[in-house]
Structure 1
Amino acid sequence: GNIDLRFCANVDPFDLDRAMHGLDPTRTLVIGVSKSFGTEETLYNLARARTWLEESVGDQSQQHLALVTANPDRAKAWLNGREAHVFDMPLSVGGRFSLWSAASLACMIYLGADTFEGILKGAAEMDAHVRSAPLEENAAMRLALLDYWNATIRNEKMRVLLAYANRLRMLPTYLQQLEMESNGKTVGPTGTMVSGATAPALWGGEGSVGQHSYHQWLHQGSQDVPCEFILAPDRSRDPEGINALTAHALAQAEVLANGRSFDEVKQEEPDLSDEVARQKVHAGGRASTFLVHNTFGPAAFGALVALYEHRTYLAGHLWQLNPFDQWGVERGKTMASRLKPAVEGTAAADDAVTSALIAMIAGD
Structure 2
Amino acid sequence: MSNPVQLPQWQRLATHAAEVRKRPLREAFATDPGRAARFSRQEHNLLLDFSRQLIDERTLELLLDLAQVRGLKPAIDAMFAGERINRSEHRAVLHVALRNRSDRPIQIDGQDVMPEVRACLAKMRDFVAGIHGGRIHGATGKAFTDVVNIGIGGSDLGIVMATEALADYRHRNLRLHCVSNVDGVQIGDVLHQVEPERTLFVVCSKTFTTLETLSNARIARQWIVDRLGEGAPARHFAAVSTNAKALDAFLIPPQNRFPMWDWVGGRYSVWSAVGLSVALALGMDQFELMLEGGHEMDQHFRTAPFQDNLPVLMGLLAVWNRNFLGMDSLAVLPYDQRLHRFPAYLQQLEMESNGKRATPDGGLVDYDTGAVIWGEPGSNAQHSFFQLLHQGTANVALDFLAPVNGSGAYPGQQTLALANCFAQAQAFAFGQTETDIRKDLQSRGLPDGQISQLMPQKLHPGNRPSSVLLFSRLGPKTLGRLIALYEHKVYTQSVIWGINAFDQWGVELGKKLAESLVPVIENPQTNTDPALGGLMTYIARWRV
Tell me the TM-score normalized by structure 1. Answer: 0.95
The 3-state SS of whatever aligns with 1:70 is coil
The 3-state SS of whatever aligns with 1:208 is helix
> Is 1:304 matched with 2:482?
yes
Give the match for residue 282 of structure 1.
460
Deviation at 1:63, TM superposition (A): 1.1
Deviation at 1:181, TM superposition (A): 0.7
Give the match for residue 72 of structure 2.
none
> Is 1:86 matched with 2:257?
yes
C-alpha separation in 2, matches of 1:50 and 1:242:
44
Give the match for residue 205 of structure 2.
34
C-alpha separation in 2, matches of 1:94 and 1:103:
11
C-alpha separation in 2, matches of 1:167 and 1:284:
29
Give the match for residue 106 of structure 1.
277
Give the match for residue 515 of structure 2.
337
Give the match for residue 178 of structure 1.
349
Deviation at 1:239, TM superposition (A): 4.4
The 3-state SS of whatever aligns with 2:193 is coil
1:66 to 223, 231, 238: 238
Deviation at 1:145, TM superposition (A): 0.8
Give the match for residue 122 of structure 1.
293
1:263 to 435, 455, 466: 435
C-alpha separation in 2, matches of 1:131 and 1:331:
35
2:471 to 290, 293, 299: 293
| Bigger shift: residues 277-286 or 117-126 | 277-286
Give the match for residue 86 of structure 2.
none
Deviation at 1:277, TM superposition (A): 3.5
Give the match for residue 318 of structure 1.
496
Give CA-to-partner distance per residue, 1:269-327, whole Å, 9 cap, x none: 32342222331110111111111101331101001001111111221121111111111
The 3-state SS of whatever aligns with 1:198 is coil
Give the match for residue 327 of structure 2.
156
The 3-state SS of whatever aligns with 1:188 is coil
> Is 1:52 matched with 2:213?
no
| Letter matched to residue 416 of structure 2 | A
CA contact (8 A) 1:30 1:64 kept: yes
The 3-state SS of whatever aligns with 1:331 is helix
The 3-state SS of whatever aligns with 1:123 is helix
1:134 to 1:70, Cα distance in 2 relative to 1, 3 A:
farther
The 3-state SS of whatever aligns with 1:228 is strand
> Is 1:17 matched with 2:176?
no
Deviation at 1:349, TM superposition (A): 4.2
1:134 to 1:72, Cα distance in 2 relative to 1, 3 A:
farther
CA contact (8 A) 2:524 2:537 kept: no
C-alpha separation in 2, matches of 1:267 and 1:193:
53
For these two proteins, the number of residue pairs brought into alignment is 362
Give CA-to-partner distance per residue, 1:199-248, whole Å, 9 cap, x none: 01111100211111001111111123111101124446534311111010
C-alpha separation in 2, matches of 1:333 and 1:61:
28
1:20 to 1:293, Cα distance in 2 relative to 1, 3 A:
same
CA contact (8 A) 2:203 2:238 kept: yes
| Letter matched to residue 324 of structure 2 | I
Give the match for residue 315 of structure 2.
144
CA contact (8 A) 1:118 1:298 kept: yes
C-alpha separation in 1, matches of 2:385 and 2:331:
10
Tell me the TM-score normalized by structure 2. Answer: 0.64
Deviation at 1:362, TM superposition (A): 2.5
2:374 to 178, 203, 211: 203
| Letter matched to residue 521 of structure 2 | V
C-alpha separation in 2, matches of 1:9 and 1:115:
24
Deviation at 1:361, TM superposition (A): 2.9
C-alpha separation in 1, matches of 2:252 and 2:479:
38
Give CA-to-partner distance per residue, 1:81-128, whole Å, 9 cap, x none: 564621111122111000100001111011011111110110010111
CA contact (8 A) 1:233 1:296 kept: no
C-alpha separation in 1, matches of 2:396 and 2:252:
53
1:246 to 412, 418, 428: 418
The 3-state SS of whatever aligns with 1:205 is coil
| Letter matched to residue 143 of structure 1 | M
CA contact (8 A) 1:161 1:202 kept: yes
The 3-state SS of whatever aligns with 2:365 is coil
1:350 to 1:241, Cα distance in 2 relative to 1, 3 A:
same
C-alpha separation in 2, matches of 1:119 and 1:347:
52
The 3-state SS of whatever aligns with 2:202 is strand
4+ long deviations beyond 6 Å? none
| Bigger shift: residues 343-352 or 153-162 | 343-352
Unpaired runs of 5+ in structure 2? 1-171
Larger radius of gyration: 2
| Letter matched to residue 413 of structure 2 | G
| Letter matched to residue 190 of structure 2 | A
Deviation at 1:57, TM superposition (A): 1.9
Unpaired runs of 5+ in structure 1? none
1:351 to 1:319, Cα distance in 2 relative to 1, 3 A:
farther
C-alpha separation in 2, matches of 1:350 and 1:150:
46
